[in-house]
Structure 1
Amino acid sequence: MEKEDKRRWWGEFFIDNSLYIFLIAAIIGIAVYNPNFVSMKSIINIVSLSAANLPIALGIAGAIILTGTDLSAGRVVGLTACVAASLLQMAEYPNKMFPGIGTVPVPIVILAVIAIGALVGAVNGFCTAKFNLHPFIVTLATQLIVYGTLLIYLMQGNNNGQSISGLDKSYTNLITGSILSVPDGKGNMVPIPNFVWYAIVITVVMWFVWNKTTFGKNMFAVGSNPEAANVSGVNVAATTILVFTLAGVMYGFTGFIEGARIGANTANTGLNYELDAIAACVIGGVSFVGGIGKIRGVIIGVVLLRIIFVGLTFMSVSSNLQYIIKGLIILVACAIDMRKYLVRK
């Protein structure tokens, strides 16, 4: 009987952690296939890509904890990235979108993109809470509205729908500049982009919000059982609105970073970013059944997903096939998550 229990325990362990086991095996296989995958330059690249995607994942994670999701996230990132880029073009740039306003101070632009993200998030939360609509439907609608707004915005001024580039050094240095470099073992120094440090600060703030504030406790309570939370005195509607608003703030931060990181922003900026974020959250154990998730899980999910896709690039796997792999990862992760939930029940 003891052997059978042990066998069952190991079986459950491998099934519950099969995605992690597969990813670790894939990482080892890729490293053997192409040793450059584990070079310092590659590692810094993975860290940088993870840092760029972490804020949007932290935002969507809150929506998932409420048993919802947010399909508008990528388009909000695209809109805020284009707004930031358009306001922070060089004053002397010949194709400047708004030549009459010069280069807007960076702090004002940061506040502007955060306000845009927060506004979209608040609308998502309000419609979800007050009209009792599923977040999938609400955010699908706002995704289309935001995308339409972005297309209209790109036609303003002298832009005429073109990509927005020619960014001011005060913007690019703030995001993609570096104050620290690490040796690669070959006599060269590999710079760590500044936005990595910003992502760390944002993550610490979000950890504090989730774990040390009344709002964070209310978020998990509403995600676990909204009726019980309501009886306990939690304002379910207000909590829902605040969760989506905070998510919007995270999208605004992501957009501000992406605007400088990409350097030439178009209507496709932010496309499908929400899919990567959702996949990372599910891989990291943020459950769609609600009320379950940890900041460290989101971090692990984001990093693992970046590792696997950078690895696929090292193996010369086409970007088209990567979409298929991404979809399979989401499907398997959700299936494992649901199985864990049924076992607990």
Structure 2
Amino acid sequence: MSEIIKPKRSFKEQIIENALIVVIVLMVIYTAFSANNFLSFNNLKNILANVSVRFIIALGISGPLIIRGTDLSAGRIVGITSVVAAVFLQRADASSVMYPGIAGSPIIVALLAALVVGLALGVVNGLIISRLHVPPFIATLGTQIAIYGLNMMLSKNAPIGSLNQTYTRFGAQGVKLGGLQIPYLTFVAIVAGIFMYILYRYTVYGKQMYAIGGNEVAAEVSGVNTAKSKLLIYALAGTMYAVAGFLLTAKTGSAAVTAGTGYELEAIAAATIGGVSTSGGVGRVPGILVGVLVFELLKTCLQFLGITPEMTNVFQGIVIVAAVALDIRKTMRKK
């Protein structure tokens, strides 16, 4: 039986398809030689900490993207779970306690509360999309706005500080490896990455997810309960955002209603750069990690090169559009 041989991509095509990665790698090399302290252990530690949180968010959003959906509520779920963790872990002896009845709770209680909130919001997204058949863009845009309103009420539009010191030390410290400190957050991200890798590659969950993304009608005909699968995918996404929100508060040492703003777009761009196709059916965990790392290095390079925050937003917007455009181009070439 003869094998189907795929046409080999030219070197030019490979460069075009990976143009963003090539450009950002060149930018990293330039910044390393031109900016002081770019390769310092302290900066590398900060990059690892930022990548760890963003990687977990990108892992969560990859599922909806692989099934040809999206999740615009990701950043807001990160934000509200960040605040949930903070209200439970605010020290009871702080000068201004937001919720005295639950302040000073054990760390495990705060983690469980954040996970329950993230899971519940993910389930809401999944139900709206799978049962009410609302398009994912509209469904998650609506929940994004609603969650932001809930978070404003929960946080009372005020920052929440004076948190449990063991918790904040966990977010700020790590394991020494020579002169480099590997953040504890990075080890959590590694565990999350391994879990999702196994889930995507070796389980029925993963096979059904890729089947839905490749051809939803064919998946249904083959016996896949697509409504149930979508619900599970969005529920898992919400849970991953909750983990990220919990770690984000530990990392920053405080929480506010603005936490997580725009993270969903960064995650979509990073996942797309890493090979998760917005056309569905394609995406691997190692690629997602590469995409997150590349996107975080872009932001760090711009900062070290003295680019203003306003222009940094402009560049990030361009990268998001370019990432999706290149993905669409790659998909069109395969047809």
Q: TM-score, normalised by structure 1?
A: 0.92
1:269 aligned to 240, 256, 259, which one? 259
Q: Find 1:310's aligned residue among 300, 315, 323.
A: 300
Q: Could you say what secondary structure the match of 1:36 adopts?
A: coil
Match of 1:57 in 2: 58
Q: What is aligned with 1:301?
A: 291
RMSD value, Cα: 1.6
Among 216, 239, 247, the alignment partner of 1:249 is 239
Change beyond 3 A, Cα 1:7–1:100: closer
Whether the aligned pair in 1 keeps the contact of 2:35 and 2:305 (CA below 8 Å) is yes
Query: Which whole-Å CA distance do the structure 2 matches of 1:336 and 1:193 have between them?
Result: 33
Q: 2:271 aligns with which of 253, 277, 281?
A: 281
Partner of 1:222: 212
Is 1:205 the equivalent of 2:200?
A: no
CA distance in 2, matches of 1:8, 1:170: 52
Counterpart position of 2:120: 119
Structure 1 residues 181 and 140: alpha-carbon distance in aligned structure 2, compared to 1, 3 A threshold: same
Would you identify which runs of 4 or more consecutive aligned residues in structure 1 move more than 6 Å?
A: none
2:183 pairs with 1:182 = no
What amino acid maps onto 2:177 in structure 1? V
The letter of the residue matching 1:329 is V
2:4 matched residue in structure 1: none
Q: Is the 8 A contact 2:219 2:226 kept in 1?
A: yes
Superposition deviation, residue 163 in structure 1: 0.8
Report the AA paired with residue 143 of structure 2.
T
How far apart, in 2, do the equivalents of 1:45 and 1:258 lie?
Answer: 13
Q: Shift of the alpha carbon at 1:208?
A: 0.9
Aligned-pair identity (%): 37
SS of the equivalent of 1:268 reads coil
SS of 2:181's partner is strand
Instruction: Name 1:196's counterpart in structure 2.
Output: 186
User: Helix, strand or coil for the counterpart of 1:171?
Assistant: helix
Unaligned runs of 5+ in 2: 1-6
* Aligned pairs (5 A) from 1:87-166: 87-155=88-156, 161-166=157-162
Tell me, in whole angstroms, the C-alpha distance in 2 between the residues paired with 1:339 and 1:110. Answer: 41
Moved more, 58-67 or 38-47: 38-47
1:278-332 deviations in whole A, cap 9, x for unaligned?
1101110100100000001110000011111111111111111111111111111
In structure 2, C-alpha distance between the alignment counterparts of 1:107 and 1:235, rounded to whole Å? 34
Q: Structure 1: which amino acid aligns with 2:207?
A: K
Q: Is the 8 A contact 2:87 2:103 kept in 1?
A: no
In 2: Cα distance, 1:205 partner to 1:11 partner: 36
After superposing the two structures, state which structure 1 stretch, 37-46 or 333-342, moved more. 37-46
CA offsets, 1:79-124, max 9 Å, x none?
A: 1101101110112111111223341111121111111111111111
Amino acid at match of 1:208: I
Q: What is residue 31 of structure 2 aligned with on the other side?
A: 30
Select 1:329's aligned residue among 319, 325, 330: 319
Corresponding residue number in structure 2 for 1:40 = 41
2:221 to 214, 217, 231: 231
SS at match of 2:38: helix
